[in-house]
């Protein structure tokens, strides 16, 4: 059971060079991901009326975030595992594949990367609003369900292609698979709640714009979905057949 492998870690882990390098990698990867993804949304909003709320805007956002995530996961895989998402980190933690201390370092790095990316986007565009994630025609709990299901699919794909010891050569296309599921989920849920699937994606724009309406949705939904995916995949498909994975493998 994953609960038997869940590890808190030691305070000294937070200052170990390997952990700090991994956190720096998460900061850079998340920064690149948010800058490209959110920047594309801002660019589309500048060029068209309605921005990402239009069908073509939704497709543009799906493509941009999907491509950016493929790159971010790929460049971070050898250093931190390329989580780029607090929900992925949480899913790895509950599955016993990362300690709590290292996971918290990742969270801090991911959130900072998102904030810095959105701040620089605002500066570079002459003060254009970064926009925030919000609900469109659905209630808060409807959006929570959407985020749970979409993030479950994302983290399940991460486990199947990047974490599972049986992945073999499938691991080489893990970034592509992860990027594709995010793009598909944006097309499925983007018109209703923006389809964040990632607390860091919602946090940066909310912080820079200082607009926190329904922001809790983008934490509760992804963390539940990511945690469920980590536990279910580990219990039913990995179980006790592996030891805790080193960071270099995930």
Mean pLDDT of all residues belonging to the chain: 91
What pLDDT digit, counting tens, does each position of 79-132 carry? 999 999 999 999 999 999 999 999 999 999 999 999 999 999 999 999 998 989
pLDDT at 54: 84
pLDDT at 50: 66
- CA-angle at 117, arms to 9 and 197, nearest 5°: 60
> Would you say residue 241 has pLDDT above 60?
no
What domains lie within the chain, and their CATH numbers?
Answer: 2-244 (1.20.1080.10)
Give the C-alpha separation, 44 to 46, whole Å. 5
Which of 96, 100, 74 has the alpha carbon at shortest distance from 86?
100
> Would you say residue 227 has pLDDT above 60?
yes
pLDDT classification of 225: cutoffs 50, 70, 90? very high
Give the C-alpha separation, 151 to 102, whole Å. 21
> Would you say residue 242 has pLDDT above 50?
no
pLDDT at 46: 86
Location of structure tokens 């869940």: 6
pLDDT at 24: 98
- Output phi, psi for 100, to 5 deg: -65, -40
Strand intervals (E) in 120-220:
none
> Would you say residue 249 has pLDDT above 90?
no
Per residue, the 3-state secondary structure of 48-117, as one string, reads CCCHHHCHHHHHHHHHHHHHHHHHHHHHHCCCCCCCCCHHHHHHHHHCCCCCHHHHHHHHHHHHHHHHHH
What DSSP state is assigned to residue 245? P
Buried b / exposed e along 202-236 (16+ C-beta atoms within 10 A): bbbbbbbeebeebbebbbbbbbbbbbbbbbbbbee
pLDDT at 18: 94
What DSSP state is assigned to residue 172? G
């Amino acid at each position: 059971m994953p609960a038997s492998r869940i590890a808190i870690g030691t305070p000294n882990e937070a200052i170990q060079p390997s952990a700090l390098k991994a956190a720096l990698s998460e900061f850079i990867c998340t920064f690149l991901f948010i800058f490209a993804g959110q920047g594309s949304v801002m660019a589309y909003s500048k060029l068209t009326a309605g921005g990402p709320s239009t069908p073509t805007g939704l497709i543009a956002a799906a493509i941009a975030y999907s491509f950016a995530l493929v790159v971010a996961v790929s460049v971070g895989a050898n250093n931190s595992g390329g989580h780029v998402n607090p929900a992925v980190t949480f899913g790895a933690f509950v599955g016993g594949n990362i300690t709590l201390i290292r996971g918290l370092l990742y969270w801090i790095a991911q959130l900072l990367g998102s904030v810095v990316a959105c701040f620089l986007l605002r500066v570079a565009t002459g003060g254009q609003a970064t926009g925030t994630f919000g609900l469109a025609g659905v209630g808060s709990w409807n959006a929570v369900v959407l985020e749970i299901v979409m993030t479950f699919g994302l983290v399940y794909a991460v486990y199947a292609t990047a974490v599972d010891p049986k992945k073999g050569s499938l691991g080489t296309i893990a970034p592509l698979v992860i990027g594709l599921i995010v793009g598909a989920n944006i097309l499925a849920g983007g018109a209703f709640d923006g389809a964040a699937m990632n607390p860091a994606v919602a946090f940066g724009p909310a912080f820079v714009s200082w607009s926190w309406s329904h922001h809790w949705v983008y934490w509760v939904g992804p963390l539940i979905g990511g945690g469920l995916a980590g536990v279910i995949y580990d219990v039913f498909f990995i179980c006790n057949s592996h030891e805790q994975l080193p960071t270099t493998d995930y």
